[in-house]
Structure 1
Amino acid sequence: MKLEKNLIKLNEQFSDKEEAIRYCGKILYDGGFVREEYIDAMVERNQELSVYMGNFIAIPHGTDAAKKDVLKSGITVVQVPEGVNFGTEDSSQVATVLFGIAGIGDEHLEIIQKISIFCADVDNVIKLADAQSEEEVIRLLDSVE
């Protein structure tokens, strides 16, 4: 999947995880990847099962029922230098990089797999979190095959 420069956002900050998830969804919606209903399904998905994946990343995506609202596969990468807590009041699960995804059919599984492989090495996550340009983010993620 080709990363699009306009879907990469640097130096964002959010008051909570729902705001962060909705932001990712809005980028996908504005880009024509999903219907607006998909944004609520992304929040619902996180309520069912946290989209926090460890190693300072979260992968907001919709519920299975929301697949009908995906128009084309897409991914947004959002850098959050100060982090956003995807845990509870009692447990901190801070994400500094968010990957908002929407996939036609099972494409979202392939996207998640590639992200997981890249982000399994926390040094790669740090590089993403420290990236200074959209081009740098694309270059880092394009190194995953």
Structure 2
Amino acid sequence: MEIQKELIKLNQSFSNQEEAIRYCGQQLFEAGHVNEAYVEAMIQRNEELSVYMGNFIAIPHGTDAAKKEVLSSAITIVQVPSGVNFGTEEDPKVATILFGIAGLGDEHLEIIQKISIFCADVDNVVKLADAQSVDEVVALLNTVD
């Protein structure tokens, strides 16, 4: 899937995980990839099973039931230099990169797999978190096949 530069957001900050997930969903909605109901499904998905994946990344996405709200596959990449906690105070799970995804059919599985492979190397996550431009993010992610 092609990465859309307008869906890459650098230097964001959020007070909590719900705010971060809503932001990702709003990006997908405003770009015309999902119906507004998908945003709530992203929150619900995180309540059912955390979207935090380890290695400082979270992959907010909707529930299976919300697939009907996806109009076209897309990914928003949100850089959060100060991090957002997807865990608890006692057991923090801090994400510095958020990959908000919407996939038609089973495309979301392919998207998650590519992100997981890239982010399995924590150095790649650090490079994304430190990227200073949208073009730098695109160049890093275009190394994934």
1:29-108 alignment runs, 5 A limit = 29-108=29-108
The SS at the match of 1:18 is helix
CA distance in 2, matches of 1:90, 1:39: 28
CA distance in 1, matches of 2:3, 2:9: 12
Q: What is the percentage of aligned positions where both structures have the same residue?
A: 72
Which residue number corresponds to residue 17 of structure 2?
A: 17
Which residue number corresponds to residue 128 of structure 2?
A: 128
- Which portions of structure 1, spanning 4 or more consecutive aligned residues, are displaced by more than 2 angstroms? none
Q: CA deviation at 1:143?
A: 0.3
Q: CA deviation at 1:89?
A: 3.0
**C-alpha RMSD of the superposition:** 0.4
Which residue number corresponds to residue 141 of structure 1?
A: 141
Q: CA deviation at 1:88?
A: 1.9
The SS at the match of 2:28 is helix
Note the alpha carbon deviations across 1:8-67, whole angstroms, 9 max, x for none. Answer: 000000000000000000000000000000000000000000000000000000000000
Query: Taking structure 1 as the reference length, what is the TM-score of the superposition?
Result: 0.99
Aligned residues: 145
CA distance in 2, matches of 1:103, 1:74: 6
The SS at the match of 2:15 is coil
Any stretches of 5+ residues in structure 1 without a counterpart? none
1:101-116 alignment runs, 5 A limit = 101-116=101-116
The SS at the match of 1:53 is strand
Q: CA deviation at 1:82?
A: 0.1
Any stretches of 5+ residues in structure 2 without a counterpart? none
Q: Which amino acid is the alignment partner of residue 74 of structure 1?
A: A
CA distance in 2, matches of 1:127, 1:10: 13
Q: Does 1:7 align with 2:7?
A: yes
The SS at the match of 2:62 is coil
CA distance in 2, matches of 1:114, 1:142: 11
Q: Which amino acid is the alignment partner of residue 72 of structure 1?
A: S
Query: Taking structure 2 as the reference length, what is the TM-score of the superposition?
Result: 0.99
Q: Which amino acid is the alignment partner of residue 138 of structure 1?
A: V
